[in-house]
Amino acid sequence: MTESRRLPEAIIFDLDDTIVDDSGCVAACWQLACAEGVARLDGLQSAALMAEIERERDWYWSDAARHREGRLDLRAASNRIVVQALERLGFPEPELGRLIASRYRDLREERISLIPGAVETIAHFRSRGVRLGMATNGSAVGQRAKIERFGLAPYFERIIVEEEFGVGKPRREVYESLFAALRADPSKTWSVGDNLEWDVGAPQSHGAFGIWVDGRGAGLPASASVQPNRIIRSIAELIES
């Protein structure tokens, strides 16, 4: 099949862990922040704090309402998680919790990087007349900082950031606005991202071609209710023959 026949009218990209590596450094950042933090206390081991943070983090992000609130203020969410973890371990130290959480978020922001081949892939499709859009959940300040840092805005005709738009993925309004802005027939549009529900299932309900980025190579979960049209490890595969 020739490239011209494969090209869609438009592509909607996710940002985090699709174009930028936002979570690959999570474990290392927590390790460093916790190690520095427990040095201020007697009787608390870094490994114990990390384990409790992981339990608290899993609980916090498992609820859709908390997830929506937390992703709009990640520093506040991290602070809540660390403070609660310290309390559960018998260390009611809210100021220390704030310091650990802030250090963790600073490290995360410092270590965000472009996924190899991501910009080249976006530029490839842009140069061939494919109209590009982006949909990303989170705060306006945080997400726009990433977009500006890596010079991504010029590649896209429409960028929707959850806090700016008022609602985020997987709400229908997000995709309806993007299809309209890109002047795209959903059936001739690809939607690409790492979240099965938000980036694949939601646009598929409009008729789009859903492409799941399985960055870890873990494969489709057995419990997945969404079936991607295509699975890739990184978006660079979109231009590979």
Query: What pLDDT, in 10s, does the model give residues 197-225?
Result: 999 999 999 999 999 999 999 999 999 99
pLDDT value at 3 more than 50: no
Best CA proximity match to 125, nearest among 155, 154, 148? 155
Query: What predicted TM-score, i.e. pTM, was given to this entire model?
Result: 0.93
- Give the separation between CA 143 and CA 152, rounded to whole angstroms: 11
Given 3-state DSSP classes, what are the helix, strand and coil percentages for the chain, each rounded to the nearest 5? Answer: 55, 15, 35
pLDDT value at 241 more than 70: no
Name the residue ranges covered by the structural domains of the chain: 3-21+114-239, 26-111
Q: pLDDT tens digits, residue range 140-165?
A: 999 999 999 999 999 999 999 999 99
Homologous superfamily assigned to 3-21+114-239: HAD superfamily/HAD-like (3.40.50.1000)
The answer for residues whose C-beta is within 8 angstroms of residue 132's C-beta and 6 or more apart is 10, 11, 12, 13, 122, 125, 126, 155, 156, 157, 182
